Structure 1
Amino acid sequence: MSADIRNVAIIGHKGSGKTSLAEAMLYVAKATPKLGRVDDRSSFLDDTNEEKEHAATLEASVASLSWGGKKITIVDTPGEGSFLAETRLALAAVDAALLVVSGRDGVQPVTERVFGWCREAKLPVLVVVTKVDAENARPDEVVAEVRARLKAPIAVVEHPIGEGSSFRGVVAIRTKKAWLDKPEAPSAIAPVAIPGDVAGEVERARGKLVDDVAGTTDELTEKYLTEGDLTQSELDQGLREAMRAGSITPLYYASGTRPAGIAALLDAIVELGPAPEMHPAWRGELPSARAGGASGGRDPLERAPKDDAPAAAFVFKTSIDQHAGRTSWVRVLSGVLRPETSMLNASTGISERVGKISHALGKEHKQLEEGRAGDIVAIGKLKTTLSGQTLSDEKHPFLFIAPALPPALFSRGVKFEAKSGEDKVAAALHRLAEEDPGLAVHQEEATRELVVSGLGALHLEITVERIRRRIGIDCHLGPPHIAYKETLSAKATGIEGKHKKQTGGHGQFGVCIIDMEPLPRGGGFVFEDAVVGGAIPRQFIPSVEKGIVKSMARGFLAGFPMVDVKVRLHDGKYHDVDSSDAAFQMAGSKAFKAAAAKCRPVLLEPVVKLRVQVPSLHMGDIIGDIISRRGRVTGTDNVDDQAIINAFAPLSELLEYESKLKSMTQGKGTFTMSVDHMDVCPPVIQEKVVRESGFKVAEDED
């Protein structure tokens, strides 16, 4: 039943203790036979070779446990900025989040970012301060940081006994239960009496909690003012509703490695966390509303999270194993999902056959007969469905509106030791992109270079590691070739292109005379036929245009396509026997090259629209750095202690911007960028690009 399910994502900055907390939850709840640890590579959740090698969560992991008669499904998510696309999708598939904050390191950049996503989605959040038993732990300071930096209505619902090496355990203020002096384990999780030396402090803290909860509704306020207290049931119900409304964010303490504070946290998930049936109706639209990539202006749809509604499921994670094949993790939004049935991929319009349905812990899967509204399950061997897409009942199509993913802005060209491996590497990269929603792969049309794009340098480094391990072909990454273009800056008139060649049989003869001039940026290519009097037969005029277009694609300065050009063909000559399509193509090509030499060709470079967010104290340094990169700042804004800088800058100057921004802001700066327009390169940059290209205009045969 939906009422017996709790779905939570574990989120936070890398190294905050997310996976250790998840492993402790599984162990204490008897879902795993031992306590998995990240440091000795025994983690059940971080089970890929790359995760074990880097001792970090690089992709979302799903596991289930049973506690208090409820099924809790946890989704452990990456906290490294390069892998947050999976975190973003996971948050769309759960009903609450555990925001993990290190009791030693405090609030960090990703902490703020993922909490912002929760606020945006109106997702209930429990904050968990971890590593309270670590050396240099400072839990009180961290709680103050959480309040100040996240601007969250924090209610401390636990009292830690000691900190650092003197940490003994926790007292749950809400329930007045204590777990002290020994690690929690499946056979040792019974609460103990509250120590007398902290009993008064706990009672005062509980009074503060009751006061906070009572202030969230008029009904509770009246009850509190009348009777001076709330019953346990009223306190729990009030806190549950305040969490859902975002008016209170409970804060807990825990150690994942000891473990401690785990039982109280599991109690809170069961007793305070929302069941799937409490989720607001899912927002979506008709699949046809996105035909052609546009919304179509259709009214939005809603789908109730109930078993008796038509079936719909959101795919939030995809994994592809060379032996097991493709596995898709889905949140059943509504209805009942059954194996061996046909579903519509509402994102693509393609019908999919649903294979086996299961839930899993690590690589162990348990087959299910069905998945009901609220379940998070794995589906085997979907053929085309990717992360971020929706499966729905074919007769009642529904496309869930998924959250926008962080853009893949960090790009690198893929370099090969041997050309023979290029096709295999390209295929493997495209396969990885099907698994990883933050990865994009394409071949640059202008340079014929295979380019892979991701959310950061580490993201692409891990991608290359996966390629090497999966197919055994060595490749590495280098700066991508910038997709420059060429254009004209002057007009030339009366330029002749003549092709004359005599052979043993028929010769080749064609002459065309053209005018050529630049068009406004974005004008493309315009070919004007102004030939009169039959100077060139009608059947050969398209041949002239074809020859010019081919030469434009090869460029004139550095081998990049030429754009924004107008050609006017107004005269020429032909021969009754020797003129042909090929002859006039050659004539058009020669005319173009001769005209280009007189039209002062220039190089165009892509310019991006840049938006940088940094702590206000770094704003001056960041603006100076942008200007040094030939950037132009168009505006700034301040939101609390954050500065937002909008600018335009050449893409070639931003290839290493991510690492530079991190070093300048101690990892606290973020940015987004998108190619906005093309602009003329400064002469010194043009000269450098032309020189490095080694391009020479090919001589046409006479």
Structure 2
Amino acid sequence: MQDINMVRNIAIVGHGNCGKTSLAEAMLYTAGKINRLGQVDSGTSAMDYEEEEINRNISINNSFHNYIWKKHQVFLIDTPGDDNFLNETLFATKVCDSAVFTIGAVLGVKGQTIKFADFIAERKLPCLLNITKMDRERANFEKAIDEIKAQLPVNPVVIHLPIGAEDNFRGIVDIIRQKAYLFNEGGSGKVTETDIPAEMLDDVEMYRESLMESVAETDDELIEKFLEEGELTKEELLAGLRKAIATSEIAPVTVSAATLNKGTELFLNAIIELMPSPADRPAAEGINPENEEIVSREPSLDEKFSAIVFKTMADPYAGRLTIFRVYSGVLSGDTFYNSSKKTSERFGQLYLLEGKDQKPVDSVGPGSIIAVAKLKETVTGDSLCDPSALIVFPELEPLKPVISFAVSAKQGDEEKLFSSITKMLDEDLTLKLSREQNTGEVLISGVGPIHLEILASKIKRKYGVEMELSRPKVPYKETIKGKARVQGKHKKQSGGRGQYGDCWIEIEPVESGSGLVFEDKIVGGVIPQQYRPAVEKGIQEAMEKGVLAGYPVVDIKASLVDGSFHNVDSSEMAFKIAGSLAFKKGAQEAGLVLLEPIMDITIKVGKDNVGDVMGDLNSRRGKVMGMDSDGKYEIINAQVPMAEIQTYATDLTSMTGGLGSFSIKFSHYEEVPGMIAEKIIAASSQE
């Protein structure tokens, strides 16, 4: 069993197109785990292997691999950088011991970069910064550092200084060791030690002074020595740096050009030398489900086994693949206890994930990222443990869906489609399937339009059924504003027994949410008792079909006050029709209006974007209900008609450069303004 001090597990995070997957590829190649350096753009990457990822040149799912470097075992999670798949990154940062935070030397800090930095800061996750794509045109190391300092909640200290940039990026100066390394030719990732270029000596001294000062400030003994002597030894610097990284007080900065495999060897060294092992992290806390007491598990081989499931992958051939992170103890054998579901689960084999492949292993310990296949009960978020030492870890809460589409099968195979979607719901907790009762549509909800487009692509590829997405109908409703007293009379004679039903009803509006309130005010026997429920049923059916534009009518009180009947020709059906006719006539007289759903929306944006967002809300007929501040963010609380924000996920991303986020929930119904109502009614009539 691997000494846990020699284990690292790392999530690679960063905004889209900043080179995360290329960096992971270079790390695996340089460590000898893969025998060729794949490329994202050509679809040959070991980490982006699903068809949708290759076609779009983006990471969609968390991808897993591992390697050995200088006897250390490193578990690697390559996370997506696109807003549509943010939840994958969120879960990865919650289970890993540290993060590699990639920032492009050309693009610098983007909206998603700030979101990921907030994830990392919230969890106090140790991180190592890597300025990527140093070989690209307009690569600017100093600009990237300045943006990190100005915009991210991390304290960057440079430990690797680039020698040259763009086409001239040819080496790295190790600030700690005060040595220079030039890249070997041929893309091996290896380096050759050399003297620091003379023109860089002043910069190196400046960065080393800054590094020593930053490290010293995190430790009382070191600051005392540094103030007295103005110097720290290499050993003191390394020890202080490790300690400060483990407590998230410092984030070391490295550099690379991954597609050319430049800087990778020194980067791999930095990971094992500076980043914490599971043993350096705090004990994992949870609840004992039997007595609700807080319990903890130390990251030790001697502890009882515990783990948390953070990813489920659906495969039409291999079945469901369950991925979990081990917090304590050793797992071997063929069973574990699911403390979330209170059941034992039997499994066939433990697997190390290596891109699209799996490597069987016999046992695993703390820090391991591991998978098993075909579990029956266990799903994402469940806690696993030894049955003699129960623990349930805090739930992994997924991001809430913010956009919905009506979903149907293109070729009518609805059963196969919804069976496929159900399997994908296990894999992706940010998806939600629901039925809108008022419109009859089945809705699929997700984090963004690309999220749902890729879902459709996956279902077609994996299960052979085409999913059609369309903008959902807005569930409008109708109601009345005034009162009316009307007669509904149904009289029909066509030879033989006729049809006769006659009723008078009074209708008036009632409190929102009341639906239909029916009152029988018949005195005497003008309408026999057996026909009166039929009047109510006729009114109810007419309300469901709508009067103004075909939308359900709500919040009506209908009182049956008078009428007449025929001994032979009256029937329940005749009075049902009479009730329906009376309601339609009365609703017109009482003044029908159209109602629309109003949503509560909470928008979180940077201070620079507040004006644009507020102006946009006004253009959508929104009402700002209040504002709050949360550090560098402003939180806008508003109410907006559902019809105006069906594409808001895309629009907010565009307005805020990816920095804005929002959540929505239904609030209430309100009357639609006259001119807009006319257009809706006209469109409904055409349909």
Partner of 1:405: 398
Partner of 1:61: 63
Counterpart in 2 of 1:600?
A: 591
Tell me, in whole angstroms, the C-alpha distance in 2 between the residues paired with 1:548 and 1:393.
Answer: 61
- Label 1:308 to 1:640 Cα distance change in 2 as closer, same or farther (>3 A): closer
The answer to whether structure 1 residue 317 and structure 2 residue 311 are counterparts is: yes
SS at match of 1:563: coil
Question: CA, structure 1 residues 579+231, in 2 after alignment: closer, same or farther (shift >3 Å)?
Answer: farther
- State the one-letter code of the partner of 1:453: S
Counterpart of 1:452 in structure 2 is 444
Equivalence map 1:635-650=2 (5 Å): 635-636=626-627, 643-650=634-641
1:543 & 1:389 partners in 2: Cα distance?
Answer: 52
SS of residue matched to 1:371: coil
Alpha-carbon distance between aligned partners in 1 of 2:185 and 2:239, rounded to the nearest angstrom: 30
Residues 121-160 of structure 1: pairs in structure 2 closer than 5 A: 121-160=123-162
Gaps of 5+ in 1: 290-297, 697-702
After superposition, where does 1:231-270 map in structure 2 within 5 Å? 231-270=233-272
Letter in 2 for 1:626: L
Equivalent residues in 2 for 1:322-471, closer than 5 Å = 322-338=316-332, 340-341=334-335, 343-344=337-338, 346=340, 352-392=345-385, 398-414=391-407, 417-418=410-411, 420-471=412-463
Conservation of the 8 A alpha-carbon contact between 1:287 and 1:349: no
Deviation at 1:594, TM superposition (A): 4.0
Cα deviation per residue 1:541-565 (whole Å; 9 max; x = unaligned)?
6655555444433333333333333
TM-score (norm 2): 0.89
- Give the 5 Å matches for 1:152-301: 152-182=154-184, 189=190, 192-195=193-196, 197=198, 198=200, 201-226=203-228, 228-285=230-287
Matched residue of 2:108: which SS?
A: coil
Aligned residues: 684
Distance in structure 1 (CA, Å) of the matches to 2:72 and 2:496? 90
Structure 2: distance between partners of 1:179 and 1:92 = 35
Distance 1:559 1:225, change over 3 A: same
Q: CA offset at residue 154 of structure 1? A: 1.3
Quick one: distance in 2 between partners of 1:39 and 1:193? 34
Q: 1:504 to 1:121 in 2, by over 3 A?
A: farther
Q: Residue 522 in 1 paired to residue 513 in 2?
A: yes
Instruction: Report how far residue 171 of structure 1 moved.
Output: 2.2
Greater mean alpha carbon deviation, residues 19-28 or residues 499-508: 499-508
Per-residue displacement from partner, 1:293-329 (whole Å, max 9, x unpaired)? xxxxx77665544455554432222222222121121
When residues 315 and 516 of structure 1 are mapped into structure 2, their CA distance, relative to the original with a 3 A threshold, is farther
**Equivalent-residue separation in structure 2 for 1:427 and 1:537 (angstroms):** 50
The question of 1:633 aligning with 2:624 is answered yes
What CA distance in whole angstroms lies between the structure 2 residues aligned with 1:478 and 1:335?
49
The structure-2 alpha-carbon separation of the partners of 1:504 and 1:338, relative to structure 1 and needing over 3 Å to count, comes to farther
Cα distance in structure 2, aligned partners of 1:423 and 1:55: 32
Supply the distance in 1 between the matched residues of 2:388 and 2:422 (Cα, whole angstroms). Answer: 32
Q: Which amino acid aligns with 2:394?
A: I
Q: CA deviation at 1:50?
A: 0.9
Moved more, 59-68 or 671-680: 671-680
TM-score (norm 1): 0.87
Letter in 2 for 1:189: K
**Displacement of 1:583:** 6.2
Q: 1:87 aligns with which of 79, 86, 89?
A: 89
Residues 303 and 329 in structure 2, CA contact (< 8 A), matched pair in contact too: yes
Q: What is the distance in 2 between the residues matched to 1:391 and 1:273?
A: 26
Greater mean deviation of Cα atoms: 144-153 or 662-671:
662-671
Question: Displacement, 1:144?
Answer: 0.5
RMSD after superposition: 3.4
- 2-side partners of 1:442 and 1:288: how far apart? 34
Residue equivalent to 1:98: 100
Moved more, 431-440 or 470-479: 470-479
Structure 1 residue 456: deviation in Å? 1.9
CA deviations over 1:602-646 (Å, ceiling 9, x no partner): 222122223344454443333222212212223446667755443
Q: Distance in 2 between matches of 1:38 and 1:496?
A: 73
Over 3 Å counting, the alpha-carbon distance change for 1:657 and 1:358 in structure 2 is same
Percent identity between matched residues is 39
Task: Give the residue type in structure 2 aligned to 1:441.
Answer: L
Aligned AA (2:420): A
C-alpha distance in structure 2 between counterparts of 1:553 and 1:349, whole Å: 44
Q: Please give the secondary structure, in 2, of the residue aligned with 1:239.
A: helix
AA aligned opposite 1:372: G
User: In 2, are the aligned partners of 1:158 and 1:173 still within 8 Å (CA)?
Assistant: yes
Shift of the 563–158 alpha-carbon distance from structure 1 to 2, 3 Å rule, reads: same
CA offset at residue 266 of structure 1?
1.9
Answer yes or no: is the 8 Å Cα contact 1:103–1:138 preserved in 2: yes
The answer on whether the counterparts of 2:79 and 2:88 sit within 8 Å (CA) in structure 1 is: yes
In 2, are the aligned partners of 1:426 and 1:450 still within 8 Å (CA)?
Answer: no
Q: Where does residue 678 of structure 2 map in the other structure?
A: 687
Deviations 1:83-137 (A, max 9, x none): 1111111111111111100001100010000110111112111111001111211
Q: In structure 1, what is the Cα distance between the partners aligned to 2:256 and 2:681?
A: 60
Cα deviations by residue, 1:460-506 (Å, 9 ceiling, x for unpaired): 2222322333344445433211122222322334x555667789999
| 2:474 paired residue among 472, 482, 505 | 482
Structure 1 residues 374 and 505, CA, compared in 2 at 3 Å: closer, same or farther?
Answer: farther
- Does the CA-based 8 Å contact 1:179-1:261 persist in structure 2? no
Residue equivalent to 1:294:
none
Q: Is the 8 A contact 2:13 2:20 kept in 1?
A: yes
Change (3 A) 1:308 1:503: farther
User: 1:700 is matched with which residue?
Assistant: none
Q: Distance in 2 between matches of 1:336 and 1:533?
A: 82
* Structure 2 gap ranges (5+): none
Bigger shift: 508-517 or 476-485?
508-517
Conserved in 1, the CA contact under 8 Å of 2:312 and 2:379? yes
CA separation of 1:544/1:69 partners in 2, compared to 1, >3 Å: closer, same or farther? Answer: farther
Question: 2:165 and 2:320 mapped to 1: Cα distance?
Answer: 45
Q: Secondary structure at the match of 1:400?
A: coil
Provide the rounded CA distance (Å) in 1 between the counterparts of 2:434 and 2:122: 32
| Residue of 671, 678, 682 corresponding to 2:669 | 678
